[in-house]
Amino acid sequence: MKIIHAFGSRACAIKMAPLIKEGIRRGHKNVIVWSGQHYDDNLYLDLFDDLEIPRPDYDIEARGSSPEIGAKILVEFEKICKKEKPDIVLTHGDTFTAMFFSQAAALSLVPVGHVEAGLRTYSWEPFPEQICTKTSDACSALFFAATEKNRKDLLSEHAPEERIFVVGNSVVDAALEHAVLAKKKSRITERFKIRHPFVFWSCHRKENMLSEKRMTGIFGSLLDMKEVNFFCSVLPSTQLAAEKYGFADKLKNAPHIIWEKCLPKYTDALCLMLESDLVLTDSGGMQEECAALHIPCLTLRYVTDRPESVEAGANRCVGCEKENIVKEVKGILGNQAAAKRMRGTKNPYGDGKTSGRIFDIIERFKGRLERWEKKIRKEA
């Protein structure tokens, strides 16, 4: 079969890497299309090499505002679909890239398989991750749900039951594989002197970045906890927010904070996470990684589309107020029993065999991937 893997962000590259490797192992023709949504070298080129996957066959180089990115993807990906004539396009998650790739494929009558389908918060958010994932699902022929909750949410929206499959999350495949590699090849702890208590921090969601009140609480908590050592993995949007709200110099110069541009290598980031006593983040993928790697996680949000990690006890939503963040962080770092309980929880996102399950399903549906309405039989 010919399979297009279509994505365009660092997080999606990490989660799609196991699928690309699985496709290669099985002898399928795998075509990688990169939207260009992330284009900084730290988020892109070195990452592919570190993940040990081929660099993209196509780079659409979509730039600009969200509508501009979408317009470029829609036009260019239609051309790619017509040229390559794939059996299926695999998209991932809740990004703009996933939404527009899914639409372009579906409108080109190419079946879409949505990896991480059914992520729902049912909350009203100022940045449209929920719009993106729902649109991707609306375009899909196969739904690869990570959890039973995701399956139930899809069913509640009348997605076809026979096309929904609970397969786990491919980030578990990636995290387990690369955690082993990180211990062997990463030298990041030689570059940065890590002292405990040590917290790995990453915050980049637009719903936080767009709010001065939220970011004042989040940045302020970092500066207040002088007895805690932080490694801050800084994405471009995070740096812009720090500058916009007047925290950039304070964070960069604080002796207990390592304020570092997002690490190019996934293995380096994993190495620091594995070394940490706690991860403080608003990233959905990191919530899943922490559950898989048994690292206590606190989420800088009021609601999460990864509630399974909260229900399991591996994660807590702590909001964005400085006082509560400080209280929760100190509560974990100062209580070994609580930290041990979080580390000991069962991972709700699978066993690291998600990619194999997805390919089993794709192969089973070969020749039957198109979307057709069901014939309704009228009773005599």
Does residue 188 surpass a pLDDT of 60?
Answer: yes
Token pair recorded at residue 266: 């996934």
DSSP annotation of 41 reads: G
Mean pLDDT of the chain: 94
Q: How confident is the model at residue 42 (pLDDT cuts 50, 70, 90)?
A: low
Residue 220's domain comprises 174-343
CB atoms under 10 Å from CB of 372, counted, come to: 7
Q: Which two tokens stand for residue 321?
A: 């107020």
pLDDT band at 372 (very low <50, low <70, confident <90, very high): confident
Residues 39 and 160 both lie in one domain: yes
The answer to whether 28 is a known catalytic residue is no
| Cβ contacts of 8 within 8 Å, gap of 6 or more | 34, 35, 36, 37, 38, 60, 62, 95, 97, 101
Please check whether residues 218 and 112 belong to one and the same domain: no
Q: Considering the candidates 28, 158, 204, 294, report the single residue annotated as catalytic.
A: 204
pTM: 0.93
Whole-angstrom CA distances from 6 to 113, 146, 315, 350 are 10, 19, 30, 23
Asked whether residue 184 is assigned to any structural domain, the reply reads yes
- How many other C-beta atoms are found inside a 10 Å radius of the C-beta of residue 341? 14
Give the CATH number of the domain where residue 8 resides.
3.40.50.2000
Domain match, 39 and 93 both: yes
pLDDT computed for residue 379 by the predictor: 56
| Per-residue pLDDT at 317 exceeds 70 | yes
Q: Taking CA 353 as the corner, what is the angle to CA 351 and CA 356, rounded to the nearest 5 degrees?
A: 165
Do 252 and 161 have their domain in common?
A: no
Residues 4-17 have pLDDT tens digits of: 999 999 999 999 99
Total domains present in the chain? 2
Is the bond preceding residue 197 a cis peptide, omega within 30 degrees?
yes
Using DSSP, state whether 100 is helix, strand or coil.
Answer: helix
Model confidence band, residue 361 (pLDDT cutoffs 50, 70, 90):
very high
Q: What is the per-residue pLDDT across 339-353, written as a single tens digit (0 to 9) for each?
A: 999 999 999 999 999
